[in-house]
Amino acid sequence: MAEGKRVDLELVLAVDASYSIDNREFRLQMQGIAAAFRAPEIVAAIGSGPIGAIAVSLVVWAEATRPQDVGPWMELRDASDAEAFARLVEDYPRRVSGGTGIGKGIAVAARHIADNGFEGTRKVIDVSGDGKETPAREWVVLLPQARAMADRLDITVNGLAILNEESRLDLWYRDHVITGFGAFVMRAGTLRHFAAAIRRKLAREIRHDPNVAALTAGD
């Protein structure tokens, strides 16, 4: 297989579109991500690594028994590239709904990274959601299998737990969702706090910091 184009980071934003997220809340998530990529500290982080570029994409996930919505990959190097990705995200339509299939979302995101034509120094899936995985009614990829897949592919899975439905969801994410080198959980008290939380989280994920594993959750 030919070597992919080198970047400092391959990043998938895995966004919750399950039944607990209404259309207004879905738009709050997408607007928060778009605003983050317009922030000066995120633009600075994008260019902070030795290569000076990252590859980023979206996976919008929900019901594990249904197809997930996979967005295109974009290479970001500067503010112009970040603005293009922000426009894509803020206008992104909601095409999936249903139960909370976090494991399926992670598995789809991991395959999306494996097949993207890039070769990143780091690979990260950024999962955001407001609930625990829905018990499966038929065979699907569940969280233990998805985390094992991410580990095999050397992908770090980080979490942003939105606490409007479950006040201790961040602890559940810590125990059941995150995995890999330097993995961490951050939290947003409600979806109104999502934009500020995702901005902090992306700054930590994107910036080139060899000591990132030494940071503690919530820093």
Please determine, for residue 73, whether its predicted confidence score (pLDDT) is greater than 90.
yes
Residue 33 confidence (pLDDT): 98
pLDDT for 140:
83
Q: What is the mean pLDDT of residues 159-186?
A: 95
Handedness of CA 186, 60, 206, 181 (dihedral sign): positive
What is the CATH topology of the domain spanning 5-207?
Answer: Rossmann fold (3.40.50)
pLDDT of 214 > 60? The answer is no
Quickly tell me which residue has 């959980």 as its tokens. Answer: 185
Q: Does residue 174 carry a pLDDT above 80?
A: yes
Mean pLDDT of the chain: 92
Q: Where are the domains of the chain?
A: 5-207
Over its C-alpha atoms, the chain yields an Rg (Å, rounded) of 16
pLDDT of residue 92: 97
Cα separation, 132 vs 134, in Å, equals: 6
The answer, yes or no, to whether residue 210 has pLDDT greater than 70, is no
| pTM for this entry | 0.92
* pLDDT tens digits, 28-68: 999 999 999 999 999 999 999 999 999 999 999 999 999 99
137 has a pLDDT exceeding 90:
no
